[in-house]
Structure 1
Amino acid sequence: MVRQIGRIDRVGKQRHDLPRRLAETGHLPERDAREEEIDRRTRQLLAIPGPVTAEEAEALVACFAPDDCHGVARTLLHLIDTGPNPVLTTRPDPDANKGHHRLYHRSVFDAPGPTT
């Protein structure tokens, strides 16, 4: 029984390491990245089970790329949304990516944010 509890703890820790490891690899690829890189990073993102914790959501915010990258940013946004909100309560810089603006608008206005 002790061995099984230890195994569950390791699995839980590995689960919580996934968002941190994704964030450590930098932002998601941009639209013009190689298909293999987009697929690899998408698999990393999809391997993270929701709901995420507040700490995991904060780490994942750093993963937004400057563009939507063929919908990968929307997948990231939905994963962040499984965690406690709001994640961003400070207005992002005007040149910040759409993901940051959407998270901020959701927290302030409870709305999806700008679509342009």
Structure 2
Amino acid sequence: MRPEVQTFVANGPLPDWDASEEEIGRRVQQLNAIPKPITGGEAQALVSCFGPDDCYGVAWTLLHVIETGPNPVLTTQPVIDANEWHQRLYDRAVNGGLIPRT
């Protein structure tokens, strides 16, 4: 795994809307530093970095970075109480014809 991805993953999930501008800005810089496309292993690691909300749109950027890697990342339907972003990744793979809905 490349160092840029390791750094992002080591900082854990994205913060929620209550985070400071500095924290959100730092995470955006880390995310933008990740070279694309990413590997399958990097995509799997980044899936764990979604936070409780969209983090002022940063979660969408994370989703798009994940989708630069080999798809689909999630091949089975997430559980009912899964993170909404995991459900989005799965739904996008289904809607894109990459996997059948289970």
| CA deviation after TM superposition for structure 1 residue 66, in Å | 1.2
Q: For 2:67, which of 76, 81, 84 is the aligned residue?
A: 81
Q: Give the total of aligned pairs.
A: 97
Q: Report % sequence identity.
A: 58
The alignment's C-alpha RMSD in Å is 1.5
CA distance in 2, matches of 1:55, 1:25: 17
8 Å Cα contact 2:7/2:30 also seen in 1: no
**Higher normalized helix content (fraction of residues):** 1
Q: For 2:44, which of 42, 54, 58 is the aligned residue?
A: 58
Unpaired stretches in structure 2, ≥5 consecutive residues: 98-102
| CA deviation after TM superposition for structure 1 residue 18, in Å | 1.3
Q: How does the TM-score come out when normalised to structure 1?
A: 0.77
Greater relative contact order (CA < 8 Å, ≥ 6 in sequence): 2
Unpaired stretches in structure 1, ≥5 consecutive residues: 1-12, 112-116
Larger Rg: 1
Q: How does the TM-score come out when normalised to structure 2?
A: 0.86
